Every structure is written in structure tokens, then in C-alpha cells.
Structure 1
Amino acid sequence: MDIEAAGQKFSNLAKINVLLGKNGTGKSTLLRTFENNKQALPDFGAARYITPERGGELVYQGNIETSAQDPNWSDSVRRNNRFENFRQMSVTEFRRLETLVLRKIEKDAATRKDMNFSFDTTLASINQLLDHVQITRGASTGFEIQAKATNERRAPGTLSSGESELVSLAIEILAFAYGAETYTGKKSYLFLDEPDVHLHPDLQERLITLLADAIKDRDIVVVIATHSTAILGALSFNDDARVGFVISAQTEVNFVPIGEALRKILPVFGAHPLSNVFNKSPILLVEGEDDERIWQQAARTSQGKLQIWPCAAGDIQSLDEYENEVEAIAGAVYEHPLAYSLRDRDLGPYEIADKTIVKRMRFHCRAAENLILSDDVLKFLGTDWQPMEEAIEDWLGKYPEHQQYAAMVAFKDGGFDRCQSEVKALRNIFMMLAESGKPWEVAVGQTIAGLLVGPAATGEHSLTNYLGPKLVDSLNLKRRRRSIFFSKYA
């Protein structure tokens, strides 16, 4: 569905929609605009905006409850970027939530017959968010806070910011969800602004699970403005979830399903997006799992000198889609983001144009498997090219019935072009001839890591020449020497 108000538009909304964008891109303004013009929303029943800066304590204040009886006052103060008494209002919402649940039991025959459902069920859904405290029904109205381990009563002021946030937001979400049931045949809209504030990523996931459960069978549309990729990750397998990316001065945001490519790269963005951790270890998109293992090994062996997060796209056809997903999410979340993608050269040209964020590279050699035959990797394996060539000749004489015999003959007939021949099918034979018990990806990865400490080979068949200058320069793989780049195949 689409919604429009005051010149702003959200397109292709689902039930839960994540709006990702950096600070200053207008996420909060967009949400407040739609809530402030709620009467223009399709099939409008109810709408609520929840501010990003939620102050106060979880205590009851009669004047807040009195003021909250005026929906115009309630909506107005919630539109503030910071509301100092937000949590006091949430306590008032708890009293309303209790009334709504009890009325549902009273009026709905199916609910009344469900002996497992009571207001305690609602309390349990809130308490499962909390590790150390719980809320219980008060002696008269409202709730009390207790330590889970001892049932000792806790003062609201002793709760951590995260605990207070969870209780407050859970009450707000559940009260809105139950309240939406009173608008029969209408649609309700919940605009959540940065619910991740003060919450550890694990707690963000728990809150989003409660949200998804609360709206599942109700006609509610939720839009969440956030910097948090943890929230997006929590919804990555939810068929009712979509994501939109916003940049400054954008008036229309198109929301798209969370596809396989985005699901796979999301763990790489798991660090808190307001930090610069991601740019210190940028993503390196590669074609397949073999390439991913090479670079994982290189990063591990380097002991922190090579800081990258390898991620396999699956195949060359998917790599462009993955690049586009990285462009979208990194551009919406990070300042000056950096990302890489690497593909086999195959028979194409060496040069490849960068995207806005993703620096795109090809091997200078034909494919990752050719790296095995570089001088550096052969030396790492305890051999060099001359004995390897002799071992290949001997193998050809002994194994004419081998299924890869024709591929090896083609390699020989091509003049043993170690850099540009098609040798994918021969990789395990090379490792066997080198008498190595290592997987080829491990050997290559460990040799790449060795470039960071040197000494390294130079010349046409050096590993740096096979990797290519753009890759070597981008990942800073030449710290202790200057190797010559041979452009024979460029």
C-alpha cells in the first residue's frame, strides 16, 4: 500500500516497515508528518507517533493521566523529539492496556473460552523481554517492579535505561495493538522513532519479536525509523517486513522486501551503526564460498592486519545484486562508507568501474584457483614452478584415464599459462602434486596474509601480480615492499 501526506510519500508498505537513514536525513520529520496528517491516511482508524527521546520514570502521576484524556494533548507531546514525561505516560497506558484486555475477554466469546488467556498473559509477554526484573499487577491499579530472582520490590529509579525502555515501549506497543481492535474495518498506523535507543542488539530483537506478535492478526501498519541493522536483521525472515532507505531531502521512499542478498550481508553490518567499526573492517563481497574461505583464512592468519569481512554472493550473477544491497544499506547508515567486491577475471578485461560506495575489483589472473600457481603460494607449499611442471608431465604419463586428464592436457598445450589458463578443475591435483595436505583455499589465504609481513616474490608470477594492483593497493597488501606489476595480460 501507499500513503501520502503533505507532499511526502511512502510506497509499497507492508505490515512492518523499516526506514533506514543517517542522522539528519529527515526520518523523524517524515514519521511526524504522516502522524500529524493521519486523517489523510487510507482507511484511517488510529495513529500514534512514539518519540525517539523518551524521558521520565515508570511512576504514576495523576496529572499526566488527566492530561492524557485529551487525545490532542497526548498526540502533541508525543510529536516532540524529546518528551521528559514519556515513561509516566506509559504507566498511564498500562492502566489503559489492562482495561482493554479485560474488555476483550468480556466481549469476545472466543477469547473468553481460552482458559490460557488472561491479563497475566500480557504481563508475561512484557516480562520475557527482561532478564533481571519483572512487572506485576499492583495492589490496586498500575504495576509494581520486582527482581526476578528474589521477588524483591524495585524502585523505578533503580532500573537501567534499557530496562525502562523495554517496559515503556512494550506497554505502548501492546496498548496500541489492543486499542486498534476497537476500530472495526479501519487501519491503524504506528510510527516508531528509534526504538533501539539504550537497547543492546539482543534486546532490540526481543522487542521486535513482541511487536511482530502484537500486530500479527490486527490491521496495523508499522513504520520504524532507525539506524539499527539489528532491528532489520530481526525482521529478515518476516514475510510481512520491508525496508526503505532514505537520504536527505527525499520526498518519496519506496519499501522493498528483505531478499536473500540483504539477509546474507546483514550480519556484516551487525556492529552499532553509529560507530565507525564497519569502516575499519569493510565488507568484501566475493563470488563464491571458495573465495570466501580464502579471505576468511587470510584475515585470520593476518592477526588483525587485514581487516575485512568476506561475504559470498553465491555466483557471479548474484554479485551485482549484493553490491546494490551494500550500496543501499551502507549509504543509508554510515558516514563515508567503504566496501569492496572482488570477482574472477575470467576472459574479461582487468579494469572494472567502481560504484558509488563499492570499490569493484577483478583478479589480474583468470580466477582464484590460478593463485595456487603463483610463485609465492608454490613457495609456501614447499616447491616452485620447475618441479611442479615436471610433476604435471609425470602425472599426464601415469593417469590418461583420469577425468581431468583433458583439462590438464589443455593446460599444457596452452603453454602452461599459469596466470590465464582455465585451471579450476585442476586445483586439487595441483595440491596433491605439491604433496600438501592443506585445502587449497587455506594455502592461498595464508600466503596472502604473509604479504603483510614479507618478504614476497616479485615478477610476472608473483602473488601480488596475480592479485592485481587495485586489490593489493585497496587492501594494503604491500606494506613492506614494492612489487612490480606486469601488464602482459591487461
Structure 2
Amino acid sequence: MKVQELRGATAHLIGLNNINVIMGRNGAGKSRLLRDIEESSSRQEQDFYAHYVSPERAGTFKRDGNVLTQINNSPGWLRQVRSANQANNFKAASATLFREAETLYLRRLAGTPEIRMDPTRNFEADRLSKINRLLTNISLEMGSTDFEFRSLFDGKILNSDQISSGESEAVALASEILYFFDTIDPAKFNVLLLDEPDVHLHPDLQGRLGKLIISMLDEFKEHADSIAICIATHSSPLICSLADSKYVSIGTKNFTVDSIKLAPASEELRKVAPFFGHPLSLSLNQDAALILEGEDDERVWQQAARTSRGRIKVFPVLACSVDQQTELEKFCLGILNTLYDEPVAFSLRDGDGVVNEPLEHNLPLKRYRLHCYAIENTLLSDPCLSVMKTTWDEFVAAAKVWAKNDPNHRDVDLIKELIVDKDRFRHKKIKKIRQLVCSISNCKKPWEVVVGQAIGNLNKEDLSNNNMLVYFLGNDMVEDIIFRNSE
């Protein structure tokens, strides 16, 4: 980091990292500290660019002409209205800033050949998809004149005041974060000040917001020396989602102390984070830890639990690698019997081409391997195709038409190979084409939502009814995890 500390009139942050988590009780002065730093940074505009996100984020995520006029005519207006922590039109401003972020991103795309020449890079992939990963029931899409919300259940367009407060909060916060990164000035030290971003968000959303911040730092890593994000929070899920990152340091704000010394998150915190980051533990609601290999699996099982309306009682725990999954399994075994009277936890690994080699349980931890290459392979099972309102034969026909119309697509040969494969690529890697399968099926849902909904809709009769999804997942795993609490 170029800058090791930030000073306000009274506030003092020492030992800056890219992400700086500030914890403290209510009334300890966390908000005052952030505003103090923002005011000081704004007075030094030649050296600093500061963007402050206040904790009271009212309104709806819809562009407002009055807000746009105020922002254009008065450069200091937005900072002034947010400094009081009572911004009634906060989300209208967020919508305006996100539209500006789109323009800035497109300019960056046009001026950066290595991005422009990459077919996987565009505004929808690099920005909209990050917001949509925070959402479960809706998606934010580019409409004909403005951004619009669409229901993932019936495909209908929703007004901004029809979505839930948590969804609105998540979209506004993500927009503010993306705007900050797209307006970074490499010649200055850039500071994003997030005041209690966890307000109104479900614990899962809080954790996903942390991952969004980390992903943006990864994208802008060439400017890492000039970026500091300061987060005032009470949220253990948010802290724990950030704690396994090299970018993070943590400090405590006490009422009488304005000088905060930040320290990197410890290895111990990183290890326990997935288990203690969610406040709804096994002791309260019978959720059992389900240790998974990656973010894709995590999103699928989060969706599955929601779709099942509480029948699937698991809390997905993210491991970033197979090695970390092994470590989490060991750690889980060490604490389960200590914490719970009737402990249970699960671990689910990718098939990775391995066939008929089950994993041994290490009770109270039960270990399973998918009966397909990876979780996205279930997308080609009949129940998932049904969620996309199609069948295998209909998909094959649509894929043939698609291949004929787009013969130069980079994945056309893989699709052609898929539709003649009798096993539907069950034990082959399909990561490159998983969303393409949805597109060919004319399904607007993200593939994780499709798979999660199909899993969540399984019923106990499917265990004996030749259900293809059950075969792909593994009969024992389905019975033990999905129907653990069924009569």
C-alpha cells in the first residue's frame, strides 16, 4: 500500500490494507470516524478520491431527474446529503451512478485492447452478473431505455418498488461499489467508505457482498496500491466472508479511542469463519454444514434450500479448493461433538471423472462424491431441463438450429459433441457451456438457479422413480442430505 494510514480531524487508521474492517459497539463512533475521514480526504482532492456510502439508504432503485440534475449541477451535493446519514433518495442516486458506471466501463472497454479483444468481457458479464449473483428471485437486466428488474419465476418485468427491501438494498450497494471501482483515479489514493453495508441484508447476502468486493479488487489488482476500502460493521457473516482474503485487516473502534490499529485477519479466524459466520446455527434451526468445493456449488445449494421452502436444512460452507475442503472437514470433526448434542455435517465433492469410488464417512461428518463430473453437469438431466421448460429431444433440436446459425461460435464443436453423447457428458467437464445450455434452451435464468430449483423440487418418491437428477447427484447423498428430516 502506498498509504499506510488515513487521518481525519480526530480519526486515525493505522496499518491500512485494501479492505479494512472496523468493528465496535453501537455508539462507539464508527460512522463518525468514516465521515471524518471522508471530509478530510475531500479537502485534499488533489491527493485523494473518497466515496462515502451512508448507513441509511432509503428510496427505490430508479433514476430520478431531480437527483440527476443535482448531481450534474452541484459536484458536492451527493456528499452533502449523505453526510447526515439520512439520504431519502439514496437509491435513486445509486441508480444514476450505476448508469454512469456503465458509460465509464464501456469507455474503458473501448480504450483497452486486451479487454476489448476478450469475447468473455462485456458490461453484462463484468458488472450486471456481479449484481445478479447477489439476487435469488430477480435479475437486473438491460432494458430498451434503462435497467429493469425481471422475476426469475415467471419472467415478468417488475417495477423498482415491487422488489423486496433486501433486494433493493443489495442492488444499490453493489451499484455504489461498482461505481467506485469504475471511477478510480490511478493518480490519487482512492478510498471507499462503507458504513454498515449489512443493514437490511440476510446473512447469506452479507457474505456474498463481501465476495463481490474481493472480486472487484481482483479485477483492479494493478491499482491495489492506491485502493483502500473501509467498512464499519457489526456483521459476523460479512467479516467472515472477507476474512479468508489477503486483502483484509481488522480493527476495533472503542468509544474513547479514535486511533485504530488494523491487523491482518488471523489464520484461526479464516478457518472458523465459514462455521461461525452464519448466526442461524444448527442449535437454532437444524441447519447442518454442507462443505462444498466452490462458489458455483454454494449458489446452487443456497437456491435449493430456498426452493424447498425449508425442507432442505443445510448451510453451504465454501471451500476454495479440494485441499481447503479437507482442512474444513478436519476442523468440523474437531468441533461438532463439542458444540452439539446430536451433531451432523456433510461434505460434497465433485466427481471430477471418478466413477464408482464412494468416499468414506468420518462420523459425525458424512462425505459424498457427485455421480457426475461437477454440479453443472446436472443441468443436462431431465428435471433441470424441465425447469427450463424443455426436454432433451427439444434441446437437441434447438442446439442443431443454433449450431447451424452460429457455426463460428467458439463452443459449437462442444455442443455438437454433447447432443450425440448418450450419457449427456455426465462425466465430462462442461463448465464452458453451462450458461450456453440455458441460452439455447431459451431460458433466462442463471444455470445455478435452474439446478438449485430442480434440486429443491425433488420429492422422496424420486428416490425410487428413475429420476435422472438423483442419479447424477447420487442416491445416498440425496437421501441423507435432501431428505434428512423427512418422515
TM-score (norm 1): 0.54
Q: Which amino acid aligns with 1:199?
A: L
What is aligned with 1:51?
54
Residue number among 120, 128, 135 corresponding to 1:123 in the alignment: 128
How far has the Cα of 1:130 moved from its partner?
0.7
Residue number among 26, 29, 39 corresponding to 2:29 in the alignment: 26
Q: List aligned pairs for 1:68-467, cutoff 5 A.
A: 68-69=71-72, 70-121=74-125, 122-140=127-145, 142-180=146-184, 183-216=185-218, 217=220, 218=223, 219-266=226-273, 269-270=276-277, 272=279, 297=337, 300-301=340-341
| Alpha carbons 2:140, 2:148 under 8 Å: kept | yes
How far has the Cα of 1:151 moved from its partner?
2.2
Q: Which amino acid aligns with 1:108?
A: T
| Alpha carbons 1:125, 1:210 under 8 Å: kept | yes
How far has the Cα of 1:263 moved from its partner?
2.9
SS in 2 for 1:38: helix
| Alpha carbons 2:241, 2:273 under 8 Å: kept | no
Measure the CA separation in 2 of the matches of 1:116 and 1:98: 17
Unaligned 5+ segments in structure 1 are: 278-288, 304-490
User: Matched residue pairs, number?
Assistant: 286
Measure the CA separation in 1 of the matches of 2:186 and 2:341: 61
- Residue 4 (str. 1) matches residue 3 (str. 2): no
CA 33–165 in structure 1, closer or farther in 2 if over 3 Å, else same: same
What do the CA deviations read for 1:166-201 (whole angstroms, capped 9, x no partner)?
111111110110111xx2332210000011011111
| Alpha carbons 1:54, 1:83 under 8 Å: kept | yes
TM-score (norm 2): 0.55
| Alpha carbons 2:241, 2:277 under 8 Å: kept | no
Measure the CA separation in 1 of the matches of 2:187 and 2:178: 19
| Alpha carbons 1:43, 1:187 under 8 Å: kept | no
SS in 1 for 2:157: coil
| Alpha carbons 1:228, 1:272 under 8 Å: kept | no
SS in 1 for 2:229: strand
| Alpha carbons 1:54, 1:86 under 8 Å: kept | yes
Measure the CA separation in 2 of the matches of 1:18 and 1:92: 27
Bigger Rg over Cα: 1
Unaligned 5+ segments in structure 2 are: 285-328, 344-487
What do the CA deviations read for 1:199-221 (whole angstroms, capped 9, x no partner)?
11111111111111113323321
What is aligned with 1:461?
none
Using the aligned pairs only, state the percent identity. 35
Measure the CA separation in 1 of the matches of 2:257 and 2:102: 40
Measure the CA separation in 1 of the matches of 2:215 and 2:278: 26
How far has the Cα of 1:102 moved from its partner?
1.0
SS in 2 for 1:13: coil
Measure the CA separation in 2 of the matches of 1:152 and 1:302: 44
